[in-house]
């Protein structure tokens, strides 16, 4: 069934004119029951058989349909909210992204509202369902990996969707971020050029943090091309913390004292590792080199500056907000790809080549 273009004179045109939000009629046709019955099921009202209820709910989830909580309240069927979904606020990375979004939207009439998923696909699905039910003007969501239900909701929302932080994959609509595979490769090249050969990797949230996994994949691929392998790995499923970085570093070096370089998945555990090494009198970067990722401001307060890579966090937030607000320069909303270039900051913990 073809879909008519979205018609809203107050918003920039969509690149894909076939997009429109799903309606009760779509669910009615998919489930084979009346729109009134669909409405009763989704509002949990009325006498409806269990079989009919299940049929409607399955059809709604398959389509990615989200009920409209403001139906009839506003003629535009939109509110001036932009849903922003990130995995964590405890990580120093995402507040800077949110700052870039907020400052860019400040004079646009659009207001960001934030949801946190704790790196859980199920939690992301619940957050998106709730936010989309208020019919926001756009969605900015971290990452390219989502559950099937989340992808269906985003794909059929009929509004600008911008996935951020990562460009290594297939976006639903627009995407703004860096290549984490490329970032991992670039860090490996810098480490190899400095003469390090016995390398360990320390990472947090690895099962859920797809971006850290991609950096490790790129890192290992570059090492392999130079005839090297990661000689040890240490993973942790909790958040990013200085104490955890110290603990992981101690464990790895006790197990593999021959290592001459430690690559951390983020700056927080890297900073903890650096402090532990300095306390133990280890020669950094002469005997042991260290590097993290993200380029957070925390590094400015360390006794020695940790090597890292600037992940363009604030700029990612700014560019994503410009796309949602129709200020990206293209005159259209949708289908944009913005790949930014991460910048290596060698600091004081990698030997000069």
Q: Give the per-residue pLDDT at 345.
A: 94
Beta bridge pairs of residue 115: 85
Q: Give the per-residue pLDDT at 333.
A: 57
Q: How far apart are CA 118 and CA 305, in angstroms?
A: 29
- Cβ atoms within 10 Å of 191's Cβ, excluding its own: 25
Q: How far apart are CA 212 and CA 226, in angstroms?
A: 21
Query: Is the C-alpha dihedral spanning 211, 216, 221, 225 positive or negative?
Result: positive
Q: Is residue 277 in a domain?
A: yes
Q: Range of 236's domain?
A: 180-311
- Cβ atoms within 10 Å of 170's Cβ, excluding its own: 7
Residue 270 belongs to what H/E stretch? Answer: helix 267-279
Q: Is residue 130 in a domain?
A: no
Question: To the nearest 10°, the Cα dihedral for 156, 159, 164, 169?
Answer: 40
Instruction: Please answer whether residues 131 and 282 qualify as being in contact, where contact means their C-beta atoms are separated by less than 8 angstroms.
Output: no
Which pLDDT tens digits describe the chain residue by residue (353 residues)?
444 444 444 444 555 555 678 888 999 999 999 988 988 888 777 788 999 999 999 999 999 998 876 665 455 566 889 999 999 887 778 889 999 999 999 989 899 999 999 889 999 999 999 999 988 999 999 999 999 999 999 999 999 999 999 999 999 999 999 999 999 999 999 999 999 999 999 987 666 788 999 999 999 999 999 999 999 999 987 766 889 999 999 999 999 999 999 999 999 999 999 999 999 999 999 999 999 999 988 778 889 999 999 999 999 999 999 999 988 766 555 789 999 999 999 999 999 87
Q: Is residue 91 in a domain?
A: no
- Cβ atoms within 10 Å of 73's Cβ, excluding its own: 10
Pairing of strands 343-345, 308-310: antiparallel
Pairing of strands 174-178, 230-236: unpaired
Q: Is residue 155 in a domain?
A: no
Query: Cis omega before residue 285 (within 30°)?
Result: yes
| Residue 168: both structure tokens together | 């290594």
Q: Is residue 293 in a domain?
A: yes
Instruction: Please answer whether residues 125 and 100 qualify as being in contact, where contact means their C-beta atoms are separated by less than 8 angstroms.
Output: no
Q: Which of 5, 153, 341 has the alpha carbon at shortest distance from 161?
A: 153
Q: How far apart are CA 142 and CA 86, in angstroms?
A: 5
Please state whether 165 falls in left (phi above 0), alpha (psi between -120 and 50) or beta: left
| Residue 9: both structure tokens together | 């004179």
Q: How far apart are CA 188 and CA 228, in angstroms?
A: 10
Q: Is residue 266 in a domain?
A: yes
Q: How far apart are CA 26 and CA 30, in angstroms?
A: 6
Q: How far apart are CA 85 and CA 115, in angstroms?
A: 5
Residue 126 belongs to what H/E stretch? Answer: helix 121-132
Residue 139 belongs to what H/E stretch? Answer: strand 138-142
CATH number, domain with residue 187: 3.40.50.2300
Q: Which of 51, 60, 6, 64 has the alpha carbon at shortest distance from 28?
A: 60
Q: How far apart are CA 12 and CA 6, in angstroms?
A: 10
Instruction: Please answer whether residues 219 and 233 qualify as being in contact, where contact means their C-beta atoms are separated by less than 8 angstroms.
Output: no
Q: Give the per-residue pLDDT at 4.
A: 42
Beta bridge pairs of residue 81: 111
Q: Is residue 244 in a domain?
A: yes
Per the structure, the count of domains in the chain is 1
- DSSP assignment of 185-240, as one string? HHHHHHHHHTT--SEEEEEESTTT-HHHHHHHHHHHHHHHHTT--EEEEEEESS--
Q: Give the per-residue pLDDT at 208.
A: 74
Q: How far apart are CA 155 and CA 158, in angstroms?
A: 7
Q: Is residue 274 in a domain?
A: yes
What pTM value is reported for the model? 0.82
């Amino acid at each position: 069934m073809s879909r008519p273009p979205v018609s809203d004179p107050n918003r920039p045109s969509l690149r894909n004119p076939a997009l429109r939000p799903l309606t009760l009629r779509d669910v009615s046709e998919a489930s084979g029951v009346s729109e009134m019955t669909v409405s009763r099921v989704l509002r949990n009202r009325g006498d409806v058989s269990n079989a009919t209820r299940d049929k409607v709910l399955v059809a709604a989830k398959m389509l990615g349909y989200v009920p409209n909580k403001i139906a009839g309240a506003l003629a535009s069927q939109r509110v001036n909210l932009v849903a922003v979904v990130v995995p964590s606020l405890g990580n120093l990375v995402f507040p800077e992204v949110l700052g870039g979004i907020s400052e860019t939207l400040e004079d646009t009439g659009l207001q960001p509202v934030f949801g946190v998923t704790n790196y859980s696909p199920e939690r992301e699905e619940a957050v998106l369902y709730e936010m989309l039910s208020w019919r926001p003007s756009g969605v900015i969501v971290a990452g390219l990996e989502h559950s099937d239900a989340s992808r269906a909701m985003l794909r059929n929302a009929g509004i600008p969707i911008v996935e951020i932080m990562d460009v290594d994959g297939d976006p639903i609509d627009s995407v703004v971020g860096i290549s984490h595979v490329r970032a991992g490769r670039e860090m490996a090249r810098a480490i190899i050029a400095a003469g390090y050969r016995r390398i360990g990797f320390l990472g947090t949230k690895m099962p859920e943090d797809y971006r850290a996994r991609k950096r490790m994949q790129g890192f290992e691929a570059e090492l392999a091309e130079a005839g090297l392998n990661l000689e040890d790995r240490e993973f942790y499923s909790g958040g990013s913390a200085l104490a955890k970085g110290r603990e992981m570093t101690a464990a790895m070096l006790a197990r593999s004292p021959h290592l001459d370089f430690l690559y951390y998945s983020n700056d927080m555990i890297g900073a903890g590792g650096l402090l532990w090494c300095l306390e133990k009198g280890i020669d950094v970067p002469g005997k042991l080199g260290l590097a993290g990722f993200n380029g957070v401001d925390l590094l400015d307060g360390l006794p020695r500056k940790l090597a890292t890579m600037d992940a363009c966090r604030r700029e990612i937030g700014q560019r994503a907000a410009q796309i949602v607000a129709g200020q990206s320069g293209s005159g259209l909303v949708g289908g944009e790809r913005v790949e930014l270039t991460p910048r290596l900051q060698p600091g004081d913990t990698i030997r000069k080549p």
